[in-house]
Amino acid sequence: MSVKIQFFGYAGYKIITKSGVHIVVDPFLNDNPVAPFKADELDRVDLLLITHNAYDHFGDAPEILRKYKCPVICAKDVVHNLTTVHGIDPDLMRVTIWGMLMEVAGVTVRSIESHHWSFTVTPDQELLSGPAMGFMIDAALGVRIYHPGDTALTYDMKMWGELYKPNVGLMHISLPENSLPHMECYKCGEITPYEGWLASQWLGLEHIIDSHYIDPGCDDVKQFCELVEKSVEAGAYQPKLSVIKPGEMIELD
């Protein structure tokens, strides 16, 4: 069985490992205008990963956890949101912080620092804040997938490439339209297309999968693809590149 990856739009994915474990990352589905289905239509979830508390990453985690009763890997502020605000069983929580290596549901996952914020405001106006993170996910022997969350560019990526050797990256290179109020003020997301291309080189990715968009034809995705194509044509950095439509599933070689 090959590793499969399905894109939900924004930064949401389902990863099916070679051994058949179904992992969902950042499950923003019900209010996602391009999601292929709603949260209650997920056919199976064995493990949930949440990078941070933002609405488009935390998403429909409570509904998924109530239905599937699967373990969830996340930071303490997300745990507090799930258990205290949404009443999710604390026994499902697998709390983590940057650098920790865990094995959950038969899958090895390492939490990686994200240069970003994680916060939400509860119905009682309590501010929850904690460390945003990314994940390195071992989906098969020789298939290590990096989900960066919403990190900004950091030279630490070069170190992570040397230490952890991810070969597949779900690289966010855009800020989806209508993500924030006053969108006209925002000229880029946390990482620009050029920064995403640079980060991919530092990480040593063999396969780049564009991420964090709702329209695969948007300008940021086009710019990123042009950068990769020029690099390949010049005989420099030569990764495989995939642009996935929301709802599409691909198999990794």
Domain ranges for the chain = 4-251
Written as one letter, the residue type at 115 is H
pLDDT interval class at 188 (50, 70, 90): confident
User: What is the pLDDT at residue 177?
Assistant: 79
Does residue 69 carry a pLDDT above 80? yes
Tokens of 166: 């991810």
Share of the chain above pLDDT 70, in %: 100
Architecture per CATH, 4-251: 4-Layer Sandwich (3.60)
pLDDT interval class at 253 (50, 70, 90): confident
Query: Within a 10 A sphere around the Cβ of 89, how many other Cβ atoms?
Result: 11
* Mean of pLDDT values over 204-215: 97
Tokens of 220: 């940021």
Does residue 1 carry a pLDDT above 80? no
Q: What is the average pLDDT value for the chain, to the nearest integer?
A: 96
User: What is the pLDDT at residue 38?
Assistant: 97
What pLDDT, in 10s, does the model give residues 101-153?
Answer: 999 999 999 999 999 999 999 999 999 999 999 999 999 999 999 999 999 99
Q: Give 191-195 contacts, CB < 8 A, sequence gap 24+.
A: 191/148, 191/151, 191/152, 191/153, 192/220, 193/220, 193/221, 193/223, 193/224, 193/227, 194/223, 194/227, 195/153
Half-sphere exposure of 78 (CA within 13 A, CB side): 30
The least confident of 21-35, 136-150, 164-178 is 164-178
Closest CA to 26 of 129, 148, 140, 195: 148
Does residue 42 carry a pLDDT above 80? yes
The least confident of 28-42, 167-181, 236-250 is 167-181
What pLDDT, in 10s, does the model give residues 219-240?
Answer: 999 999 999 999 999 999 999 9
